[in-house]
Amino acid sequence: MVSDEKQPNENDHKKLGKELGLFYVSDLVGKGLPLFTAKGATIRRELERFIVDEEIRRGYEHVSTPDIAKLDLYIKSGHYPHYEDSMYAPIEIDDEKFMLRPMTCPHHFALYLSRPHSYRELPIRMAEVARLYRYEQSGELMGLLRVRSFCLADAHIICASEEQAGQEIEGALDLIEYVAGVLGLEYGKNYHYRLSLGDRSNTEKYYKNDSAWEKGEALLRALLKKRKSNFVEGLNEAAFYGPKIDVQMKNVNGKEDTAFTVQYDFCMPDRFDLSYVGEDGTPKKAFVVHRSSIGALERIMAFLIEHYGGAFPLWLAPVQIAILPIGEKHRAYAKEVFDTLKQVGIRVEVDTSDETLGKKVRNAKMQKVPYVAVIGDKEMAESSVALEKRDGGEKIVVSLGDMLKRLEEEIAGRK
């Protein structure tokens, strides 16, 4: 008899995260506050290094701002009270109120205002992988997809004109599509675009400026059409300060969430008086684009765990290769191989247990390790290894140098 009870999807990131030892949620620490093991932290670190290096290559300036700020900052930006229900309660310190930050934009605007700027400097692309805190309702929390503390690959681009803002939005979409491609995600198959619009009649939720809303939404719609991108429109899905293009993905259970986003902001330049000195020597109002290139590291990790079924490509795998000595007499050479790989930054483990070779291979494959290198008498005599891929493909005997070259090329190519 088949049970009507719904079984968890084999690729559910919560299930795989536990089986592969990637993250853990402790009741003692709190709901929605995942703890990452060394393996889980490795994936986060690789994603962060990848996106920071790529953004710097594309002209972004990476900055660092604090996780806490005075409540006055969020009142000025309008996030408080717009998002008061999803912000943590103020903390009183020395008769002043502070907040754990739910977003970085006010911090970046304060940094922009630290000195005057000329039109020659614009656009300024200010980026940060920032720790944010939002109070998600208990019923909404889910694994790494919905959490209360997360790191967002965020950026704010200060532009000199609407035309320049349009160019930067296109550049942000180019970056997002490149990132998605490197991560193995296909447009139309693994993600799609949503044009998120405001509601002119909802003045409580949205900044009141009808003409700016019309212009901003028309700009984003025209850009998507120019790129020949298929998209859906979502009414009442915009940020309070302007419309946005959201990159939508579904988890293995069919629920859709926003992974990345590009937003056009006509509100903050007014609230913060964001300006620059124009070519004629007079102050001009700036234009702002918000964007997230890889989204929250926690959320993209959840999508990737499910997308790959835990079998990450080599560059992202927590353990990239397992060294399996057949017997005790092969362990000294296995340690030499381990040290050689470790020295060049390859993530490697040695199984020195007394298990049979077959059991060692099965254990490595259960942990989704991309490569195993078996060492026996022949390999020890020839200073080689018997290399086998995770998917059960070719088994080849290669020299230590050839194995190293193969691994380094595959990692560098992020294949």
Confidence category of residue 6, pLDDT binned at 50, 70, 90:
low
Question: What percent of the chain has pLDDT above 90?
Answer: 82
Residues 247 and 383 in one domain: no
Residues 153 and 295 in one domain: yes
pLDDT at 5: 45
In a domain, 123, yes or no: yes
Residue 62 belongs to domain with CATH number: 3.30.930.10
pLDDT at 78: 85
Q: What is the rounded average pLDDT of the residues 257-279?
A: 92
Q: What is the rounded average pLDDT of the residues 123-138?
A: 95
Per residue in 15-52, pLDDT tens?
Answer: 999 999 999 999 999 999 999 999 999 999 999 999 99
- The C-alpha angle 410, 411, 415, rounded to 5 degrees, equals 60
Residues 327 and 301 in one domain: no
Question: Of 75-79, 229-233, 263-267, 348-352, which one has max mean pLDDT?
Answer: 348-352
Q: Is the pLDDT of residue 205 over 90?
A: no
Structure tokens at 251: 């988890």
Output 204 or 304, whichever has higher pLDDT.
304
- Its pTM surpasses 0.85: yes
Output the average pLDDT for the chain: 92
Residues 109 and 45 in one domain: yes
pLDDT at 38: 97
In a domain, 5, yes or no: no
Region of poorest pLDDT, from 67-81, 142-156, 297-311: 67-81
In a domain, 282, yes or no: yes
Residues 142 and 284 in one domain: yes
pLDDT at 105: 94
Q: Is the pLDDT of residue 170 over 90?
A: yes
Residues 129 and 172 in one domain: yes
Region of poorest pLDDT, from 78-92, 103-117, 352-366, 374-388: 78-92
Residues 226 and 362 in one domain: no
pLDDT at 86: 84
Q: Is the pLDDT of residue 253 over 70?
A: yes
Q: What is the rounded average pLDDT of the residues 42-65?
A: 98
Q: What is the DSSP string of 107-145?
A: HHHHHHTTS--BGGGPSEEEEEEEEEE----GGG-BTTT
Q: What is the rounded average pLDDT of the residues 320-327?
A: 96
Structure tokens at 324: 């399996």
pLDDT at 268: 87
Parallel/antiparallel/unpaired status of strands 283-285 and 287-296:
unpaired
pLDDT at 204: 66
Q: Is the pLDDT of residue 79 over 90?
A: no
Residues 240 and 346 in one domain: no
- What range defines the domain where residue 373 resides? 321-413
Q: Which residues pair with 287 in a beta bridge?
A: 159
In a domain, 126, yes or no: yes
Where is the domain boundary, 308, 342, 364? Answer: 308
* CA dist list (Å): 333 to 172, 347, 351, 415: 49, 18, 13, 29
Residue 325 belongs to domain with CATH number: 3.40.50.800
In a domain, 299, yes or no: yes
Q: What is the rounded average pLDDT of the residues 324-345?
A: 95
Q: Is the pLDDT of residue 200 over 50?
A: yes
Where is the domain boundary, 308, 329, 360? Answer: 308
Q: What is the rounded average pLDDT of the residues 75-97?
A: 88
In a domain, 74, yes or no: yes
Residues 41 and 190 in one domain: yes
Query: Cα–Cα distance between 274 and 136 in angstroms, integer?
Result: 31
pLDDT at 3: 42
Residues 303 and 326 in one domain: no
pLDDT at 415: 78
Structural domains in the chain (count): 2
Residues 225 and 115 in one domain: yes
Where is the domain boundary, 254, 273, 308? Answer: 308
Distance of alpha carbon 172 from the chain centroid: 15
pLDDT at 203: 66
**How many distinct helices (H) and strands (E) make up the chain?**
13, 20
Query: Cα–Cα distance between 303 and 297 in angstroms, integer?
Result: 10
Q: Is the pLDDT of residue 1 over 50?
A: no
Residues 239 and 360 in one domain: no
